[in-house]
Amino acid sequence: MHGVGKQLMGSEMLRSDWFPALSDGLRRAGRPTVPHSEFTMAFYGDLFRPPGHALAVGDPMFTASDVADGFELDLLLAWWQHAADVDPAVPPATGSTTLARSPAPRRRHYGPCNAPGSSPMSRCGRSSSI
């Protein structure tokens, strides 16, 4: 949902984030874009949050460790894999270089040439950037 975690924003702030992303998606799909003047964004976050509070009273701050094994994890991984199938910029949901279950999202695979703390001149004999 576009408004999850955005209850302190408003429709114009959400619109400024979503309009370019949706326009890019439409272009990538070979579809006509929507004129900026015709694009509106609903906002209802203020309806679910008491004034002066970031979240509704009692709402927990969820993290990746709250994702349950089974259906919930399978669904998230299926969505992720589908995104990777249609967008080359999204890493696959399989393998050792994914974001799954990481306390600090990191996707980089460290090999002997780009290990953390290594110098720009790696032991592979060429300059590498991390």
| Structural domain count of the chain | 1
Per-residue pLDDT of the chain (130 residues; tens, 9 = 90+): 455 667 778 888 889 989 999 999 999 999 999 999 999 888 877 776 666 666 655 667 778 888 888 999 899 989 999 998 998 888 887 765 555 554 444 444 444 444 445 444 444 444 444 4
In a domain, 19, yes or no: yes
In a domain, 115, yes or no: no
Which residue range is the domain that position 16 belongs to? 1-60
- Nearest-Å Rg of the Cα atoms of the chain is 20
CA distance 6 to 80: 22
In a domain, 11, yes or no: yes
In a domain, 130, yes or no: no
In a domain, 8, yes or no: yes
In a domain, 41, yes or no: yes
In a domain, 23, yes or no: yes
In a domain, 50, yes or no: yes
